[in-house]
């Protein structure tokens, strides 16, 4: 391996690090929202799949145990849907970034 090849490798590693930093920023900035039960439960999540906000309509709180079970199910469904939306948003974003580099599609990202 000659010095020219080492310089190219160093440059490629620098570009990879920049891309990683850019993806980390994008993950933190991407925000998705999902609702269930006709808006009874709403979850806001970032691209890192951190729940930023959970909103429960006061009408969802009832006095019976079955209301509590339904509310738990709605929360679970909203969190799962927000996670799916975060995944979709990031796949779309990554596909755009990779397309600009002229790289082949990576499995699981398209």
Domain boundaries along the sequence of the chain? 3-101
- Please tell me the predicted confidence (pLDDT) of residue 63: 63
pLDDT of residue 103: 52
Model pTM greater than 0.75? no
- Can you give the pLDDT at residue 60? 79
- Out of 3.30.200.20, 3.30.310.50, 3.40.630.30, 3.30.1310.10, select the CATH number for domain 3-101: 3.30.1310.10
Give the span between the Cα atoms of 5 and 11, in whole angstroms.
10
Spans in the chain with pLDDT lower than 50 = 106, 109-110
CA 110, CA 100: separation in Å to the nearest integer?
14
User: What pLDDT does residue 44 have?
Assistant: 93
Q: Give the model's pLDDT for residue 92.
A: 85
Cβ count within 10 A of residue 10: 10
- Residue 41 has a pLDDT of 92
pLDDT at 110: 44
């Amino acid at each position: 391996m000659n010095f020219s090849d080492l310089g190219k490798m160093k440059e490629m590693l620098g570009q990879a690090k920049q891309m990683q930093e850019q993806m980390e920023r994008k993950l933190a900035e991407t925000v998705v929202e999902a609702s269930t039960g006709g808006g009874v439960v709403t979850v806001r999540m970032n691209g890192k799949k951190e729940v930023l906000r959970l909103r429960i309509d006061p009408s969802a709180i009832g006095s019976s145990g079955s209301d509590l079970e339904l509310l738990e199910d709605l929360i679970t469904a909203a969190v799962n849907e927000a996670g799916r939306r975060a995944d979709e948003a990031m796949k779309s974003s990554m596909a755009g970034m990779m397309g600009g580099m002229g790289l082949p599609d990576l499995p699981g990202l398209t």
